[in-house]
Structure 1
Amino acid sequence: MMKRLPDLEAWAIFSKVAEHGSFSRAARAMGMSDPTVSKAIGRLEARLGLTLIARTSRRIALTDAGRAALERASRILSEGEAVEDEAGAQSTVPRGRVRISAPLSFGIAYLGSTLPAFLDAYPEITIDFALSDRKVDLVAEGFDLALRIASLNDSSLLSRRLCTVRLLLVASPDYLDRHGMPTHPAQLGGHCALAYTGGASRTWRFTHPTFGEETVEPAVRVWTDNADLLNPALLAGQGLAIQPEFLVWRELRDGRLMPAMPEWSVAPLGLHLVMPPSPLRPLRVQALIDYLARELARAPWDVDRIRE
């Protein structure tokens, strides 16, 4: 049978009574009533089968047992106060490790540049990044949060949408000069495709404001699970690919790549912060969530905004 836990509150009250030499003065100092203090001492004495404080109508005095117990009781009180002080400091000064999962290409391109300002603002927070296109299990794998570029399905996780990530069919001007600009998804069968395998489907789906939706399975020359690998082949005129705007916006801005089949669009994705289901989060985690939400709320790769 498990031993009962010690009555830590009563021992702290005992220490205060000994310090003030009076039940009533100790009660006032602690913001308690006299009966509450008296009952706490009574609980201790009943539990121990010993008298800790001898009472008379005019004064109190510690017994031998009370004097023997006072040093450790005072230590219990001081340790408890120290724990609360430290915990209180943590509630106002974020500290500790935050573990975050993020997509590999996006993390390398954008999260690294956000780190210095955050680390300056929160010197007691440590960040543990796990960069991978794998969809991690936040709860089972012990992550505090994740960044995901996706169309999120309903789940038990909490999420916060930060911005839109457009997906663009792109190619180099040289490639389009040699192979022609496609005007309909059906024409993509005669083109060389470079494809990211991170999605569940190997088909490309396009939408037109007049003609509706078309789905094609392109003739793919290169498959990869990391979209960064496709950019050099695109720039070298080896084919066309559907790329997230954040990976090609500079090339589009500089004219080294251009949109192909511009009247047809691919459904955009969202950049989301995803968190375990509990709404209660340590301050260090909330600090990083708020910071990333501010930094990424307006997509830094938004070509239309940059042109403005």
Structure 2
Amino acid sequence: MDKLEAMNAFAKVVASGSYAEAARRLNLTRSAVSKAVMELEQALGARLLDRTTRRVTPTEAGLAYYERCLAILAQVDETEAQISRLHDEPKGVLKVNAPMSFGTLYLGDAVADFMIRYSDLKVELTLTDRFIDPLEEGVDVTVRIGAMVDSSLIARRISPARIVLVASPDYLKAHGTPQSPSDLAEHRCLSYGHMTSMQRWHLTDKGKPVSVAIGACLSSNNGDVLREAALKGIGIALLPTFIAGKDIAAKRLQIVLPENQPDDLTIHALYAPNRYLAAKTRVFIDFLVDRFGNTPSWDVCFAKR
């Protein structure tokens, strides 16, 4: 087995935690995979894997080597793909995963326009707020909002995602308008997530981060639910502008504490590094960047803070 094949075998063992599973994925015998890893260890003069009866885990040296293997294998795959697909049109099935609210409000329409442009492509779009592993689930592109915590995935920035505090004019008339972040403790708040005894919103005060305790009268894992409650005057909500922007523009919702808004988040397109960037994936991500960009449509309808 040559060096690249051995590196690929080693990477599959680390990813799956099993020689047998790596052999199955590569259509090789377990002994062939084990031999390839042993040859790498001999060549490097370092133990790459710790083996137990239940699982195989990388050593510190093995983890560093694994990360380099992924980068090298991805570069090889991408180079070969670029040459072999240089004149190819995007074809086949493009599998996309995205958050529920963003997918419903904006991505569905974008995908329809994308398919008009690339009629030979079929698209499988699934919407879920649960974070998935693109490699394990066989997804080509995962759209996610917020900080990236998994460095094993390649992320490309699509658009900013501004977060704002909003309330209906009726709520503010009845309960007053907060003048500082600390005032939120006296208000009814609509919180994303699960109900707990103590919840906090992370805002800013004169450019510095500030954590504010809130009393949530409604908690939900869906932003559209919180938007509807805010529109009905139930309380103050912390929402992305892609959910609340049209209501702000129409004055159905007002921005609260405009000088204390949270830091912006980012919408990313994620894909696995050990798959070359196929034409269908590349053109779809390019399309999303062009479609949304630095000033997405949900932000152009009201002034920046």
Aligned partners of 2:164 and 2:90: how far apart in 1?
40
Alignment of 1:156 onto 2:152 = yes
Contact kept? 2:188, 2:217, Cα under 8 Å: yes
Does residue 136 in structure 1 map to residue 132 in structure 2? yes
- Per the TM alignment, residue 154 of structure 1 is displaced from its structure 2 partner at its CA by 5.2
Per-residue deviation, residues 243-263 of structure 1 (Å, max 9, x unmatched): 000101111001110011122
Do structure 1's residue 189 and structure 2's residue 216 form an aligned pair?
no
Runs of 4+ in 1 over 2 A off after TM superposition: 87-91, 303-307
The structure that has the greater radius of gyration is: 1
Once the two structures are TM-superposed, the CA of residue 137 in structure 1 deviates from its matched residue by 0.8
Aligned to 1:123: 119
Q: Is the deviation greater in 98-107 or in 288-297?
A: 288-297
Q: Give the whole-Å Cα distance in 2 for the aligned partners of 1:269 and 1:182.
A: 24
Q: Does 1:246 align with 2:242?
A: yes
**SS of equivalent residue, structure 2 residue 289:** helix
Question: Which residue of the other structure, out of 192, 200, 204, is the alignment partner of 1:203?
Answer: 200
- Contact 2:248–2:302 (8 Å) recurs in 1: no
Structure 2 Cα separation of the partners of residues 101 and 154 of structure 1: 16
| Partner residue, 1:261 | 257
**Partner in structure 2 of residue 113 of structure 1:** 109
Q: What secondary structure does 1:140 align onto?
A: helix
Matched pairs, number: 220
Q: Using the alignment, how far apart are the partners of 1:91 and 1:228 within structure 2? A: 43
Amino acid at match of 1:302: D
- Mind listing any 5+ residue stretches in structure 2 that lack a counterpart? 1-82
Alpha-carbon distance, 1:117 to partner: 2.4
CA contact (8 A) 1:253 1:303 kept: no
Q: How does 1:212-231 map to 2 (within 5 A)?
A: 212-231=208-227
SS at 1:263 equivalent? helix
Please, what TM-score do these two structures have when normalized by structure 1? Answer: 0.66
Report the Cα offset of residue 273 of structure 1: 0.7
- In 1, the alpha carbon distance for the partners of 2:126 and 2:218 equals 26
State the match for 1:176 in structure 2.
Answer: 172
Query: Do 1:173 and 1:257's aligned partners in 2 also have CA atoms closer than 8 Å?
Result: yes
Q: Name which of 255, 265, 280 aligns with 1:284.
A: 280
Q: Percent identity?
A: 32
Amino acid in structure 2 at the alignment position of 1:98: L
Q: What is the match of residue 99 of structure 1?
A: 95
Letter in 1 for 2:206: P
The residue type equivalent to 1:174 in the other structure is D
SS of aligned partner of 1:218 = strand
Deviation for aligned residue 1:124: 1.3
Preserved contact between residue 97 and residue 125 of structure 1 (Cα < 8 Å) = yes
> Structure 1 residue 180: deviation in Å?
0.9
Q: Say if 1:206 and 1:266, in contact at 8 Å, map to a contact too.
A: yes
Please state how far the C-alpha of 1:155 moved relative to its aligned partner: 0.7
